[in-house]
Amino acid sequence: MATKAAKRITKAREGINVDKQYDLSEAIALLKDRATAKFDETIEIAMNLGVDPRHADQMVRGVVNLPNGTGRDVRVAVFARGDKAEEAKAAGADIVGAEDLVETVQKGEIDFDRCIATPDMMPLVGRLGKVLGPRGMMPNPKVGTVTPDVAAAVKASKGGAVEFRVEKAGIVHAGVGKASFESKALEENVRAFADAVIKAKPTGAKGNYVKKVALSSTMGPGVKLDPSSVTAPAA
């Protein structure tokens, strides 16, 4: 006997052609129409890239500021001392600390979504590589999370900055907004994310870089996209 969840998924898939690559606007309309959960579902993008991240010259990573934010309440932790710690607090950081925060994280208590550090704190924060690394939360200067300007980094994280990093299978994925967003806002966010991934194309990438693109909502089905509708400028 089918469960309620199975019935809901089956119903959500109705009207979606699994073999078709949809235009971005059409795909968003399909997802918004099917996002019927009791909470505001996240719209997620997955990009299958023609890279092998096991090779250093094929790693894809970066950060992008989504023009319309993520719709998430992002909790930010900052490793800083003195004036920089005060700047982080004033900018809205949720957790600020130094040795005390390192100890907390080492215990496995991670009550934040994003992590920022001043450069002088990195010898200390470096001890947390085994804890934060697997979660993709280790501060890194390449994505602006190791910086002396902690106030700007906190505001960016709170305002819609999204980090991305390719996984072993060559897939990059991220949340690009909420189902309650206007369709145009979601389209702008998707294009901004795709543009950042394209600009992050590594030197070792050969052949077709963007192979497949799909959108989904938290509880809904995936919808394949025509890659050209995501990577090309809006008409």
The tens digit of pLDDT for each residue in 13-66 reads 666 878 899 999 999 999 999 888 889 999 999 999 999 988 989 999 888 989
For residue 62, give the H/E element and its range.
strand 61-65
**Neighbouring-strand partners of residue 43:** 217
Indicate if the pLDDT at residue 121 is higher than 70: yes
**Domain range list for the chain:** 17-70+162-231, 76-159
User: Taking a C-beta distance cutoff of 8 angstroms, is the pair 232, 226 a contact?
Assistant: no
Residue 72: the pLDDT is 83
pLDDT band at 202, cuts 50/70/90?
Answer: very high
Separation between Cα atoms, residue 135 and residue 222, nearest integer Å: 24
Indicate if the pLDDT at residue 182 is higher than 80: yes
Residue 11: the pLDDT is 60
Separation between Cα atoms, residue 152 and residue 90, nearest integer Å: 11
pLDDT band at 235, cuts 50/70/90?
Answer: very low
Indicate if the pLDDT at residue 2 is higher than 70: no
Indicate if the pLDDT at residue 3 is higher than 90: no
pLDDT band at 134, cuts 50/70/90?
Answer: confident
Separation between Cα atoms, residue 109 and residue 145, nearest integer Å: 20
Return the CATH number of 76-159, one of 3.40.50.790, 3.20.20.140, 3.60.150.10, 3.40.1030.10: 3.40.50.790
Q: What is the CATH T-level fold of the domain 17-70+162-231, as seen in this structure?
A: Ribulose 1,5 Bisphosphate Carboxylase/Oxygenase (3.30.190)
Separation between Cα atoms, residue 228 and residue 77, nearest integer Å: 37
102 contact partners, CB below 8 Å, separation of at least 6:
79, 124, 125, 127, 128
Question: CB count, 10 Å around CB of 127?
Answer: 12
Using alpha carbons only, what angle is made at residue 186 by residues 110 and 23, rounded to the nearest 5 degrees?
Answer: 125
Separation between Cα atoms, residue 151 and residue 203, nearest integer Å: 33
User: Taking a C-beta distance cutoff of 8 angstroms, is the pair 28, 186 a contact?
Assistant: yes
pTM for the model: 0.77
Separation between Cα atoms, residue 105 and residue 91, nearest integer Å: 22
For residue 175, give the H/E element and its range.
strand 171-178
User: Taking a C-beta distance cutoff of 8 angstroms, is the pair 144, 5 a contact?
Assistant: no
Share above pLDDT 90 across residues of the chain, in percent, rounded to a whole number: 64
